[in-house]
């Protein structure tokens, strides 16, 4: 037998133990995909776009309903937007945790061990290794890190949608986590649906972005012609026209309360 034939025979000889080793390296293409997840700002851009898309759709729906007095809010639709934002917040927080894990020394060390590929020629070598697996290290370090708090912008809009569902069902009740320092006037255990200046029911409510109090648009603008402070008793916070913004929650309260009154009137007519 020639030397060439012996060499070919040796190359074709399979290892005696073909069992899968405890340590299995990560394939190079998977490693590249993992690294691509951490291109600066790439994930932030994606989440920002998705967040804008969800909030834009929710705003469009709310504005459309408020602009058409004959239409009613669907709690299930609002809940779908809430669920979408909740999922986005969760994924974003977990991705930020994964970014932290990516930069840990223990993870970088394991990453450096993933240079060789597992094949028949390297099987015996890997069977002798006792290295930690890449997925195992990632999982362990990920679980050890605390989750970051929700992103403030997302969380504010998320709370707005939850508050919207509450006021639709309870138009004259304070939102559970509200207190006397919040933006609404609480009187006798209920939310006042009347303008503090004219004592008439709100028609086009606006609120101050400075102190959070709500006013009727026409009356507060008239008030600010002569005074530059909040007219709510005990407040006196300096405000201007630029500080006013539409109070959608109050408008939802008015809409829901009106619907409730109409329903009660119909029931009364039926009884009579």
Q: How far is CA 80 from the centre of its chain?
A: 12
Q: How does pLDDT run across 23-61, given as a tens digit for each residue?
A: 666 666 666 666 666 665 667 778 888 999 999 999 999
CA atoms within 13 A of residue 88's CA, in its CB half-sphere: 26
Q: How far is CA 123 from the centre of its chain?
A: 46
SS3 35: helix
- The answer to whether residue 139 scores a pLDDT higher than 60 is yes
Q: Is the pTM of this model over 0.85?
A: no
Q: How does pLDDT run across 203-235, given as a tens digit for each residue?
A: 999 999 999 999 999 999 999 999 999 999 889
Q: How far is CA 272 from the centre of its chain?
A: 50
Say what the pLDDT of residue 9 is.
Answer: 47
Say what the pLDDT of residue 33 is.
Answer: 66
Q: How far apart are CA 220 and CA 202, in angstroms?
A: 12
- The answer to whether residue 179 scores a pLDDT higher than 70 is no
In terms of DSSP H, where are the helices of the chain?
3-11, 28-36, 42-67, 75-102, 105-112, 123-127, 134-144, 152-169, 217-223, 248-271
Say what the pLDDT of residue 41 is.
Answer: 63
Q: How far is CA 25 from the centre of its chain?
A: 36
Q: How does pLDDT run across 56-115, given as a tens digit for each residue?
A: 999 999 999 998 888 889 999 999 999 999 888 888 888 888 888 877 887 776 665 555
Say what the pLDDT of residue 203 is.
Answer: 93
- The answer to whether residue 140 scores a pLDDT higher than 80 is yes
CATH 3.30.40.10 domain locations along the chain: 190-271
Query: Homologous superfamily of 190-271 in CATH?
Result: Zinc/RING finger domain, C3HC4 (zinc finger) (3.30.40.10)
Residue 68: burial class (beta carbons within 10 Å; 0-12, 13-18, 19+) = exposed
SS3 190: strand
Handedness of CA 175, 179, 183, 184 (dihedral sign): positive
């Amino acid at each position: 037998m020639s030397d060439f034939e012996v060499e070919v025979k040796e190359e074709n000889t399979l290892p005696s133990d073909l069992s899968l080793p405890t340590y299995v390296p990560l394939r190079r293409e998977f490693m590249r995909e993992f690294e691509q997840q951490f291109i600066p700002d790439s994930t932030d851009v994606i989440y920002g776009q998705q967040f804008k898309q969800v909030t834009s759709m929710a705003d469009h729906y709310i504005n459309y309903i408020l602009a058409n007095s004959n239409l009613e809010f669907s709690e299930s639709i609002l809940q779908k937007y809430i669920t979408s934002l909740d999922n986005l917040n969760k994924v974003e927080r977990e991705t930020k945790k994964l970014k932290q894990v990516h930069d840990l020394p223990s993870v970088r060390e394991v990453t450096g061990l993933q240079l060789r590929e597992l094949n028949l020629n390297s099987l015996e070598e890997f069977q002798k290794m006792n290295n930690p697996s890449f997925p195992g290290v990632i999982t362990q370090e990920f679980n050890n890190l605390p989750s970051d708090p929700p992103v403030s912008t997302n969380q504010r809009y998320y709370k707005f949608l939850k508050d919207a569902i509450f006021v639709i069902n309870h138009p004259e009740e304070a939102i559970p986590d509200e207190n006397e320092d919040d933006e609404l006037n609480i009187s006798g255990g209920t939310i006042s649906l009347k303008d503090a200046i004219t004592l008439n029911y709100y028609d086009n409510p606006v609120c101050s972005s400075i102190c959070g109090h709500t006013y009727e648009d026409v009356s507060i603008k008239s008030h600010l012609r002569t005074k530059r402070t909040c007219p709510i008793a005990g407040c006196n916070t300096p405000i201007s026209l630029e500080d006013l913004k539409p109070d959608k929650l109050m408008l939802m309260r008015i809409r829901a309360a009106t619907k409730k009154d109409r329903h009660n009137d119909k029931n009364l007519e039926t009884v009579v």
